[in-house]
Amino acid sequence: MPHWRKLGRVFDPSTVHDRPWLKEFAQAPSALICGDVVRVYFSCRPPADAAGQYVSHSAYVDLDRADLFKVRAVARAPILPLGETGTFDEFGVYPVSVIRQGDDVRAYYAGWTRCESVPFNTAIGCAVSRDGGETFQRLGPGPILPYTPDEPFVMSGPKIRRFGDAWYLFYIAGRSWKMHAGRAEPVYRIRMATSPDGLAWTKAGYDLIPPRIEPDEAQASPDVFYADGRYHMHFCYRYSTDYRSHERGYRIGYAWSDDLVTWTRDDSRAGIDVSDEGWDAQMISYPHVFEVDGRTYLAYLGNDVGRGGFGLAVLDGPMG
């Protein structure tokens, strides 16, 4: 059975003092190897405005490749400005997943817009960097994966991968909004789309992972990698209500597949759980797996869905 050995918290946004747009949160880590550094992209927020509303930006932190706990640099500005008035990403760029394509770097991200009856809606956009991943430019003002008749809202959580000649986008799609204690809470499930070029997508059109803890379980951050002869997915899940707590908050789940089509869920093999105390004792979420110099790491968020940053764990032994 796989075991992720926790190494500790790597980046805490509260330690950055000269970027007013990066006040708190370092959510949804996504790694890119850049020479002698590992660039980890994340999403963050400035303080709320006078009406109590937030926006989300995406940025990066460069970690020393030889010592991933040594911060070499933090982005001087968001990697992508917020969208124009009325666009799908006017109020937020979160979360983001990056991949190399030749000399370019592509970022797949969820764009946020505000709503009236529910807090927000999201769709998935794409941007390209031609300066090594420091700044990005949108492919256009609209999303590449919008909501559709069978996926009506909350298209988010993109995780981009390439296996063979095909591109795979694992994401979440909303299935309902639940009103609880005067608050609208989204329920969403993991889905997948495929593409020959990473731009024109064909949706699979079904939920990949069945719920386990309750029928309205919400799932997010489906990150897939190939090792030891099969595909492995780490994701996070939570209860649909009262999830801002230890008992009902996010945990990391696991599923495996031989063909990327049919998945078998087995959370007992996730290999990681909350700590007894500290920055990740309340919840853990948004897993991201990457390899550096022969070692496999899992980046993840701790309490309050990454308000205090992200940490790393290393894989001990094979996935099996």
pLDDT for 1 equals 72
pLDDT for 148 equals 95
Q: How far, in Å, CA of 107 to CA of 28, rounded?
A: 13
> Which residue in the block uniquely carries the two structure tokens 């927020």?
45
Whether the pLDDT of residue 43 is over 90: the answer is yes
pLDDT digits (tens, 9 = 90+) for 235-253: 999 999 998 888 899 999 9
DSSP 48: -
Instruction: Map out the domains of the chain as residue ranges.
Output: 3-316
Across all residues in the chain, what is the average pLDDT?
96
Token pair of 179, please? 């009103």
Residue 292's DSSP bridge partners are: 295
- 0.95 exceeded by pTM: yes
pLDDT for 126 equals 98
Report the percent of the chain where pLDDT is more than 70: 100
pLDDT for 205 equals 96
DSSP 248: T
Rg (alpha carbons) of the chain, rounded to whole number: 18
Whether the pLDDT of residue 230 is over 80: the answer is yes
pLDDT for 244 equals 84
pLDDT digits (tens, 9 = 90+) for 203-217: 999 999 999 999 999
Q: How far, in Å, CA of 208 to CA of 235, rounded?
A: 11
Phi, psi of 14 (to 5 degrees): -70, -10
pLDDT for 318 equals 84
Token pair of 82, please? 């917020």
> Which residue in the block uniquely carries the two structure tokens 């499930």?
189
What's the rounded mean pLDDT across residues 282-299? Answer: 97
pLDDT for 246 equals 87
Whether the pLDDT of residue 320 is over 80: the answer is no
Protein fold of 3-316: Tachylectin-2; Chain A (2.115.10)
What's the rounded mean pLDDT across residues 116-131? Answer: 97
Whether the pLDDT of residue 21 is over 80: the answer is yes
Q: How far, in Å, CA of 35 to CA of 133, rounded?
A: 12
> Which residue in the block uniquely carries the two structure tokens 């991201």?
288
